Amino acid sequence: MGHHRCGIRIVLAVGALLALAGCNGIWTGIDPQEYLGQEAPMTLLLAEYIGPDARATAERVRDELHQEGFKRAFVIADDDEAFLCHSLYKGFDDPKYFPDKEKFAAMRDTSGRTAFGRPWASPLPEPTPPNRYDLLEARGQYTVQVGVFDLYGRKQMATDYAGQLRRQAWKAYVYHGASQSVVTIDAFGREIFDNWARADNPWDPAKVISPDVKRILAAFPYLNWNGHQFTAEEVAEIKVTRRTSVLLPKTSSPSREIVTDVSESMFRSKLVRIPVRTRQPTMPRMPAPGPIPSPRGGGLR
């Protein structure tokens, strides 16, 4: 990964700086540990840095922001990934959010370029722990999803769960999406279907004939969600509905609303596609114009 060693100098009127800072003392930041296993609070994500000097770069930019009056800038980092953030917000309706966002978007560096691109609201970010079980390294096209983690600390929780399954002799993998971290077991090719050409046909789907896939689904019929292993009895008591409208041609009513109970499918373990690895963008020469996106695809989020 490229080394990002360029500092930042913000050109902005002192009065505007102090108005945005909104406080006199330097904010010591937040303790991410207090949010583990909870809904993450919202922050303004200014930049993500990657590489061996990511933490040092992010902290240097944070210190420069503090010197300019932005006392609520803070950094969350590990050895090779760092997030530069500003403040915590109750939501989009927080009266401080949009003024802060617009002022950071208007900042320029010493060369006149946008300093932070388009800063955006984000759940409090978390660094990605070392992933020895990366699903994108698995050799296959399909895998069985058995765990979902979407609370703060999800990446570490998913990694821990995959490690637990590995110790039980299951070939577990981890995938970190934009909003969820998932845990899956094993990797398979087209041979698991009776007719792979119908694998994605919703009207006449192919049948899974692989005994290995069936064995995994029998051992893990329901998902582990944020550390809680759902059971058939629990799912039977949960009702999650989805409303859809269906067009009705040549009738007096143009459409009809259908309410479907999706509880069973939502909490069941399932066969999913393995996402295709995307090429990660190289480290920009100037502070990142926004967060580097996570890979998407394959039905995993």
> Taking phi first (over 0 means left), then psi (-120 to 50 degrees means alpha), and beta for anything else, what does residue 246 get?
beta
- Average per-residue pLDDT in the chain? 79
Q: Whole-model pTM above 0.75? A: no
Taking only the tens place, the pLDDT of each residue in 99-110 is 999 989 988 888
Reply yes or no on whether the pLDDT at 299 is more than 50.
no
Taking only the tens place, the pLDDT of each residue in 274-285 is 998 764 443 333
Taking only the tens place, the pLDDT of each residue in 136-164 is 999 999 999 999 999 999 999 999 999 99
Residues 28-43, buried b or exposed e (16+ Cβ, 10 A)?
eebeeeebeeeebbbb
Higher pLDDT, 49 or 249: 49
CA triplet 221, 227, 231: central angle to 5 degrees?
Answer: 30
Taking only the tens place, the pLDDT of each residue in 84-103 is 999 999 888 899 999 999 98
Identify the pLDDT of residue 100: 92
